[in-house]
Structure 1
Amino acid sequence: MLSSQTPPSAGEVDRTATGPAGAAPEDPLVGDALTIGGRVFRSRLLTGTGKYPDQPTMQAAIAASACEIVTVAVRRVQSVAPGHEGLMQAIDWSRIWMLPNTAGCATADEAVRVARLGRELAKLAGQEDNTFVKLEVIPDSRHLLPDPIGTLQAAERLVGEGFTVLPYINADPVLARHLEEVGCATVMPLGSPIGSGQGLRNAAGIAMIIEAASIPVVVDAGIGVPSEAAQAMEMGADAVLINSAIALAGQAPAMARSMAEATRAGRRAFLSGRLERRPEAVASSPLNGRVGDD
């Protein structure tokens, strides 16, 4: 399978997955899968459960997205916060992999405690072997930016306890490297502030993380429209996590489907190998053999 970190250039697309002689190559998405912590997923769109107007809308959006991973705020479920009543029963956990998150934690200690609760929550959903946790350490209540030091401290402890850690971070290539070194299963850089819909304001940092990482890179936060999801995937991100842009859309299920289509289109484009950028124009038609040439 083509590496997500080393896209083919035009003319170097993998031709091994072809049909009968003379047939066109298969869709590069055939057989393409996302692997996190040894678990394989077909969808590269992760979604959430917050901010929906009601549970039927959430259920319809999750179905339309065709996602296989849904993140759940452990503290909100535990406290039965508004919008989270009956959440555990509203999702088919035999089909959806739960990604408990530590939203609302301001310190490493808090995040570790909530991650442990999240592991128990996954067991209640019938996922006995689920050790996944989306690690969020956010002391900043205004801008909701993650704490790099607290995140690294919590990640190291959770990896030591056997968790599959997916840390939410600023688009900081140095921090991403340290998190990979301590054993995190992914890194999840933010495109722009969470819930802002500002798109990939941190594209340069994300690109550097993608280039250096040997674990999946999941762009999380800030994506507002499908074109931005496609852009993240075209850059070489392995997946995107989108919640607010779907949940707060006028028609959440339709937006969820659009995000899924954009994610797949961006991934297909990345695997196909983009046209090399050039400093000057290059004619798309040959100049020799024109009418009137000698």
Structure 2
Amino acid sequence: MLNIDGIDLRSRFFIGTALYDSPELMERSIEASEAQVVTLSLRRATAQSKQYALQHWLQNKRESLHLLPNTAGCHSAKEAINMAILSRELLKTHWIKLEVIGNDYNLQPDPFQLVDAAKELTEQGFKVFPYCTDDLVLCERLIDVGCDILMPWGAPIGTGQGLMNPYALKQIRKHFHKIPLVIDAGIGRPSHAAQAMEMGYDAVLLNSAVAKSMDPITMAKAFKHSIEAGRLAYEAGCMEQQETAHASTPDIAKPFWHSEPL
């Protein structure tokens, strides 16, 4: 069970709502994922609510789903803060996935604006889920200003590259062993999600890998199972890699099998 902000979550799969071919497909994919945290762009919700009432559908699922509005598309702390305040008023949640983009080429977060926005929003009572890079110092600064959850990227948004820098991600997990950590962005395959969970990450957030697949409903199920498998493997303790071969059956006390009964 994952506890976020006093809420116990059975699922460690956080899923997005963009890029689906239809609202019906989005709804069925989310249901198939069994995710309990759903991200939502406020700009998208308000612009398209008349077409298929995305916001209304999500609100009707409030008993089983927790909304995580995001500040996607914001390029400054001021813009992100204003978007967060508006989302709290409209969606009735103090949770916010904080995105402050510094580079439009790879959608990398602006670390300076991100920290400034996180500081202001935590002071205003928000539960800030900061989307950041796999930079240990940046993660420390975000915690210093009041964040108690981190969302480092696996790779740039929408690339599907998986975990580009496993070493950096492992160091973040090791250093912040008491902080909930969610891999956000760059996950393209269920195996990528399983790898993140095997490292000890607490959850995975993704959107494109499901929504842009040929069969989003089936892919949502695949990610559900891979995330569960990765978590179980972490809890069980994965076998350490070794440089040399080791026989699974030792020579000493080796059993003998007889072709005939003695």
Normalising by the smaller structure, the TM-score range is: over 0.9
Shift of 1:89: 2.0
What RMSD in Å do the two structures reach over aligned CA positions?
1.7
1:202-255 deviation digits (Å, cap 9, x = unpaired): 222111111111211100111111011000000111000010000011010100
Residues of 1 paired with 2:75 and 2:255: CA distance?
72
1:15-164 equivalent positions in 2, closer than 5 A: 33-80=1-48, 85-91=52-58, 92-123=61-92, 130-164=93-127
Shift of 1:36: 1.6
- Superposition TM-score, scaled by structure 2 size: 0.92
Q: Which moved more, 1:87-96 or 1:195-204?
A: 87-96
Residues of 2 paired with 1:39 and 1:291: CA distance?
52
2:260 matched to which residue of 1?
none
1:235 matched to which residue of 2?
199
Letter in 2 for 1:196: T
Shift of 1:62: 0.3
1:187 matched to which residue of 2?
150
Q: Give the fraction of aligned pairs with identical amino acids, expressed as a percent.
A: 43
Q: Which has the higher contact order (CA 8 A, sep 6+)?
A: 1
1:27 matched to which residue of 2?
none
Higher-helix-fraction structure: 2
Residues of 1 paired with 2:255 and 2:63: CA distance?
66
Q: Is the 8 A contact 2:23 2:52 kept in 1?
A: no
Shift of 1:121: 2.3
Letter in 2 for 1:70: V
Shift of 1:81: 8.0
1:22-46 deviation digits (Å, cap 9, x = unpaired): xxxxxxxxxxx11122222111000
Runs of 5+ consecutive residues of structure 1 not aligned to the other structure = 1-32, 124-129
1:196 matched to which residue of 2?
159
Measured at CA, do residues 145 and 291 of structure 1 come closer, stay the same or move farther in structure 2, by a change above 3 Å?
A: closer
Residues of 1 paired with 2:142 and 2:255: CA distance?
62
Residues of 2 paired with 1:256 and 1:176: CA distance?
29
1:101-125 deviation digits (Å, cap 9, x = unpaired): 00010000000000011111222xx
Residues of 2 paired with 1:275 and 1:75: CA distance?
45
Tell me if 1:281 matches 2:248.
no
Letter in 2 for 1:239: A
Secondary structure of the 1:51 match is: coil
2:210 matched to which residue of 1?
246
1:177 matched to which residue of 2?
140
Q: Is the 8 A contact 2:184 2:206 kept in 1?
A: yes
Q: Is the 8 A contact 1:77 1:85 kept in 2?
A: no
Q: Is the 8 A contact 1:37 1:185 kept in 2?
A: no
Secondary structure of the 2:191 match is: helix
1:271 matched to which residue of 2?
235
1:133-167 deviation digits (Å, cap 9, x = unpaired): 00000032221111111111100110000000000
Q: Is the 8 A contact 1:190 1:202 kept in 2?
A: no
Runs of 5+ consecutive residues of structure 2 not aligned to the other structure = 257-262
Letter in 2 for 1:133: I
Q: Is the 8 A contact 2:162 2:188 kept in 1?
A: yes
1:7 matched to which residue of 2?
none
Secondary structure of the 2:194 match is: helix
Q: Is the 8 A contact 2:153 2:186 kept in 1?
A: yes
Shift of 1:50: 0.3
Residues of 2 paired with 1:227 and 1:103: CA distance?
26
Instruction: Provide the aligned length of Structure 1 versus Structure 2.
Output: 253
Residues of 1 paired with 2:84 and 2:127: CA distance?
10
Shift of 1:277: 2.8
Q: Is the 8 A contact 1:219 1:232 kept in 2?
A: yes
Secondary structure of the 2:102 match is: coil
Residues of 1 paired with 2:243 and 2:105: CA distance?
43
